[in-house]
Structure 1
Amino acid sequence: MIPHRVPRVLRLGPARLTAGLDHTRRLDLPAHRTLHGEPTTRDLDTLVSEVNEVDMRGRGGAAFPFGRKLRAVADAAAGRECVVLVNGAEGEPASSKDAMLLVRNPHLVLDGAILAAEALHAREVVVATAQGEVGESSIAAAVAERRAAKVAGASESHIQIRVVGIPERFISGEGGALVRGVNGLEAVPPGRKRRAAESGVDGLPTLLSNTETFAQLAILAELGPERYAEVGTSKEPGTVLLTVSGGAAHGAVLEAPTGTPLAHVLDLCEAEIGDGVLMGGYHGAWLPIDAAKTAEISREGMKLAGATLGAGIIVPLGETTCPIGEAAKVTSYLAAQSAGQCGPCRLGLPDLARAMRALAEGTGSTDAVRRAVRAVERRGACFHPDGTARFVLSALDAFENDIALHLEYGSCGRPIRGVLPMPETNDEPDYRLDVDWTRCQGHGLCAHLLPEFVDLDDYGFPSFRPVPAWMAKEARRAVEMCPALALRLARSGGGTRVRPAHRLAPSR
């Protein structure tokens, strides 16, 4: 399986996770074995000892100690069956590192997952990836390559491997959502926190970690702890995968030793910092230009700078786009991506998105945004509201000067160029509100419920602007609450109209 297009790779320092990718689009099994060899099986104590010696942490963003995860699953299983689950369902639009590994170096991921599975005596390895993407095809082809090698008599593991495609959404990579998706349910957070180590795939104890984590485990097994720690910092040895996009002339997945100055990464990618650099993705935080120039690529370095390394996402903003407009656009996206299972997600995030849009249009205030943040912070059933709140608050701090221009002049004078990566939205139609003028009595309630999309004339009668898909639920609420039953909601360009559920019964 040779993909036609692959994520671009750059590096600073030695090539480990990206070794061999200069010369081929994808490493098949023979090429992988030539480059990395076949890992030697470890028992659980040995594997945990090696992992703890280099303090390996999960690379999905939470940085949880991997050795503790291994022990937790082993203790929960206590001789029963367990499962290893690889989280490759990368729902974060600004990240490409998981896709790069699955597409270009899938066998390194599988080596690490199988090492963990053999140490835990697991029943199977499950690789969850974005449904219908090249990564799903590549990892499925890698599994087929291993089966063929096993039939041919090559020394390959007896562990069963299963690939599961998950519909791609921002929240689909959350641990509980991923487990639900693999179990055949909707891939949304379960609401009630359940540890995968205790009950995950098919209700079994499950070792759940990110794609890069398992690739790093394979590299650790290949090099041993001492050689693994030859690069990086003493507290965080090894390399890290970074996704650089936004205002970078050369967007890429970049491998660098921990401790590398952020400025070196930005220089290699010919990136303009502009008003700031987003670190850690859309649940991360903005670094202003001065902090970005001195920050180091590590968990500790980012914490000192006031940001988070997260999943290694770096998005320089550049100088030609509107900072607060970009932030407002992402906030709207995050509001649309919620599971809608709790008040902070269903009501609070749309309110926060409206407050950010008003700020970008020069009609809002930072106080209104902060009030909306307080309504969602630490109140959600999952981390999505908290992550969104962090993103918004850091934008208020980083773009203070730009916000002042918007509030004084209505704009900073720069267009919103869409520098921050966003997924394709062709399947998300806009909606329109229609009114039955024979019924409308000019109550104005629709303008109160949807102030961004409904304007009232001097007599209180409404005119409408297109309603984006992420606000469809709020528009339906306006339709339901119209006292005169005069509103209808339809897809732009035609389509089925959404009528009030409490419409009048037909005459008899």
Structure 2
Amino acid sequence: MHGPIGPMEPAALLRLAEAIDLKGKGGAGFPFARKLRAVLESCERQDLGAVVVVNATEGEPASWKDKVLLTRAPHLILDGAALAAFALDAEEIVIGVADDDVGRPSLTEALQERRMPVPTTIVTVPHRFISGEGGALVNGIKRPAAHPARHEEALQRLRRRRSAHAAVERRDVLPARRRRPDRPVRVRRARHRRRAGHRAAHSHRVGQAPRRCGVRRRHPAAGDPRPVRGAARPGILMGGYHGKWITAAAAERAEVSRKGLTAVGGTLGAGIIVPLGADTCPLGEAAQVVRYLAGESAGQCGPCKMGLPDLARSVDLAVSGSAPVELVRAAAGDVKGRGACSHPDGTARFALSAMEVFADDLRLHATGEGCGKRVKGMMGLPGAPDANPQKLTLDWSRCDGHGLCAHVVPDFIRLDGNGYPAFPPTPVPTWLREGALKAVKVCPELALRLVRAE
């Protein structure tokens, strides 16, 4: 459609990236020109060759923008990789894709239809939320387990493997050649259905928002003003699972930009908008996501291994009315800024914003009666990963408050003020199932049971 692509000198590519203000679309919004300049200087200073790493993993269930590009416009992705390879005089291009097979076939076919400037290979990494983190992707190229790592450590390992230095994300590079600073961008809308096995509770649309576009114009459901029992309006998640909730009232006046969303207490993040219907329990939906994020951690540092399960448990307790919101704030404070990657920070941000935006619903839940709405699975989470969900039950006529169960699985069971076990009525997370089973076995009064969660 656009004709062949040719080499572009580093200085020309830098000027173009700066002229069009090209930024990453993964969430951080880091300027591509600064990233490219840093890589060029580092390669020259250390006399190292570069490897262009194309990040096409997109592990977040709520986002399908990368999958649309992979399936509908794979040559744009390859154009961006080729441009970066030309400018960096790279030795190799490595494309990381998820093992869900959504984008690999079309990308493979596109590679067969063209000639790349350097050897180009496709590497498959596990389809997990954390697989798209920069350090995790570099790790996944070297070995099957894609775990996040601080970028310096990951790059050191990659350098030892193939004398490489630079990991350049595809979402930063791909638009550079096909957009000129002297021509306006024509915005088209693209619809894309989820594959079988991914639950879609409402219409799913992928598109590019024009400048100064309002949130309600981008997604009309986000401005739904209908009142909800006890709470003013339903909420809207901006930025994805590492984003923040805002009220529908805020969506009425917010525009889709980093500055515009920050002004109303939100964040653009990865550009994901998830509105909730008036008949959906927002706290129940948020609790599901926090549990999912806790289970998706690499479990290689304390904040992820211990802190996120504790945060998920705190959210469950607050939503069930068994604990005050201060417990969530304390658990979030324990993980913020302490992880090997940004996963704990993003999860804490998501949980805290839910507690703030849905404070009226939280007060209704604290009465024990709840908000009167059902959890309908509106957050785009994958189909039930646990084929046999189980929860703990307690026979109060047998329990004598020995407290052994809380010592066995402290991440899920705590002792209340009277020394008796307290735990949320939600299913036991899969990563704590073994501990819960052990707690059942050590109970001297046989008061604890693990039963199927309906």
Tell me the TM-score normalised to structure 1 length. 0.75
Q: Paired residue for 2:252?
A: 293
Q: Does 1:165 align with 2:165?
A: no
Q: Paired residue for 2:85?
A: 117
Deviation for aligned residue 1:428 = 5.9
**Letter matched to residue 432 of structure 2:** M
Q: Does 1:105 align with 2:105?
A: no
* Identity rate, percent: 41
Q: Which moved more, 1:329-338 or 1:124-133?
A: 124-133
1:131 and 1:306 mapped to 2: Cα distance? 35
RMSD: 3.8
Deviation for aligned residue 1:452 = 6.0
1:455 and 1:306 mapped to 2: Cα distance? 36
Over 3 Å counting, the alpha-carbon distance change for 1:157 and 1:134 in structure 2 is: same
Q: Paired residue for 1:19?
A: none
Q: Paired residue for 1:129?
A: 97
1:410 and 1:61 mapped to 2: Cα distance? 37
2:295–2:429 Cα contact (<8 Å) kept: no
2:428 to 455, 464, 467: 467
**Letter matched to residue 278 of structure 2:** E
Over 3 Å counting, the alpha-carbon distance change for 1:397 and 1:490 in structure 2 is: closer
Q: Paired residue for 1:410?
A: 369
**Letter matched to residue 101 of structure 2:** E
- Residue 327 of structure 1: SS of its match in structure 2? helix
Q: Does 1:226 align with 2:182?
A: yes
What pairs with 1:33-112 in structure 2 (closer than 5 Å)? 35-78=1-44, 80-112=48-80
1:81–1:205 Cα contact (<8 Å) kept: yes
Deviation for aligned residue 1:431 = 5.6
Q: Does 1:372 align with 2:338?
A: no
- Residue 181 of structure 2: SS of its match in structure 1? helix
Deviation for aligned residue 1:122 = 0.7
Tell me the TM-score normalised to structure 2 length. 0.83
2:438 and 2:146 mapped to 1: Cα distance? 25
| Residues 371-419 of structure 1, C-alpha deviations (whole Å, 9 max, x = no match) | 1111111222221111111001111111011111111243100011111
Deviation for aligned residue 1:172 = 0.8
2:142–2:158 Cα contact (<8 Å) kept: no
Q: Paired residue for 1:258?
A: 211
Deviation for aligned residue 1:297 = 1.0
2:96 and 2:140 mapped to 1: Cα distance? 9
Query: Any gaps of 5 or more consecutive residues in structure 2?
Result: 226-232
| Residues 488-508 of structure 1, C-alpha deviations (whole Å, 9 max, x = no match) | 999979xxxxxxxxxxxxxxx
1:284–1:390 Cα contact (<8 Å) kept: yes
1:93–1:422 Cα contact (<8 Å) kept: yes
1:193 and 1:446 mapped to 2: Cα distance? 41
- Residue 287 of structure 1: SS of its match in structure 2? strand
1:262–1:293 Cα contact (<8 Å) kept: yes
Deviation for aligned residue 1:57 = 1.0
- Residue 73 of structure 1: SS of its match in structure 2? helix
Q: Paired residue for 1:502?
A: none
Number of residue pairs aligned between Structure 1 and Structure 2: 432
What pairs with 1:141-152 in structure 2 (closer than 5 Å)? 141-146=109-114
Deviation for aligned residue 1:67 = 0.9
What pairs with 1:334-373 in structure 2 (closer than 5 Å)? 334-373=293-332
Over 3 Å counting, the alpha-carbon distance change for 1:348 and 1:186 in structure 2 is: same
Query: Any gaps of 5 or more consecutive residues in structure 1?
Result: 1-34, 147-155, 233-237, 494-508
Over 3 Å counting, the alpha-carbon distance change for 1:283 and 1:401 in structure 2 is: same
Larger radius of gyration: 1
Q: Does 1:391 align with 2:350?
A: yes
What pairs with 1:168-183 in structure 2 (closer than 5 Å)? 168-183=127-142
- Residue 280 of structure 2: SS of its match in structure 1? coil
Q: Which moved more, 1:97-106 or 1:461-470?
A: 461-470
1:244 and 1:271 mapped to 2: Cα distance? 23
Q: Paired residue for 1:30?
A: none
Q: Paired residue for 2:164?
A: 204
